Each structure stands twice: as structure tokens, then as C-alpha cells.
């Protein structure tokens, strides 16, 4: 049984609060930002940082390439393209970055 779509829409990495990729067939969630792999046991995501597996950069690249090849979408995105928009000032212009 797959994770509920509504849960996936709000599920975030507990470490960096970023989006995850859900690999339903292999029962895991993957955070590309911190390279953590969170297992899904009995249809329950195990979102405990100490129980996650941190993948090497090469392993993470393979998993991310697989997500793209399979057309997987992240659990949520700040914008339709998945790239966060820079914060803006009240006038609508981008805020200066530091």
C-alpha cells in the first residue's frame, strides 16, 4: 500500500525541512539536500534522523537521477519548478541577498 497522497504533500525532511522523493516500490523517502534515506516500514515513514541512512554523494546522485528518470515529483515545492523564489520586499522587488 502506498503512502497517502495528502501526507506526501506535506511531508518534509526533519533535518533540513526540504522536500523528499518517495520511492514507493522500494519503500523509502529520499532528501536530496542532506542525502538522507528514510525507510517506510508497514506504510509508516520512519522520519527519525538517527535511523536514516546518509548516502554518499555518488549514491545520492544515482538516486536523484533515478527519481528524475522515473518522473518522480518532490513531496512539495516552493514554486511550480521546485526552486524557491527569493524573498521579496513589500514593493515586490527581490530582497538583497547576503
Fold of the 5-69 domain: N-terminal domain of TfIIb (2.20.25)
Encode burial over 72-86: b for 16+ CB neighbours within 10 A, e otherwise: bebbeeeeeeeeeee
Name which residue leads in pLDDT, 65 or 88.
65
pLDDT at 77: 74
pLDDT greater than 80 at residue 95: no
pLDDT digits (tens, 9 = 90+) for 23-76: 999 999 999 999 999 999 999 999 999 999 999 999 999 999 999 999 999 998
Cβ neighbourhood burial of 52 (10 Å; 0-12, 13-18, 19+): buried
The count of other CB atoms within 10 Å of the CB of residue 19 is 20
For every residue of 2-57, DSSP letters joined together read PPPHHHHHH---TTT----EEEGGGTEEEETTTTEEEEEETTEE---GGGSEEPPH
Domain ranges of the chain: 5-69
pLDDT value for 2: 86
Q: What is the pLDDT of residue 22?
A: 96
Q: Give me the pLDDT at residue 87, please.
A: 39
pLDDT of residue 34: 97
pLDDT at 85 over 90: no
Amino acid at each position: 500500500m502506498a503512502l497517502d497522497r495528502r501526507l506526501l504533500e506535506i511531508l518534509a525532511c526533519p533535518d533540513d525541512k526540504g522536500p523528499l522523493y518517495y520511492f514507493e516500490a522500494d519503500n523509502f523517502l529520499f532528501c536530496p539536500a542532506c542525502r538522507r534515506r528514510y525507510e517506510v516500514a508497514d506504510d509508516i515513514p520512519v522520519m527519525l534522523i538517527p535511523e536514516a541512512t546518509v548516502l554518499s554523494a555518488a549514491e545520492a546522485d544515482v538516486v536523484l537521477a533515478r527519481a528524475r528518470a522515473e518522473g518522480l515529483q518532490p513531496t512539495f515545492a516552493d514554486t511550480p519548478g521546485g526552486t524557491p523564489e527569493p524573498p521579496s520586499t513589500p514593493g515586490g522587488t527581490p530582497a538583497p541577498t547576503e
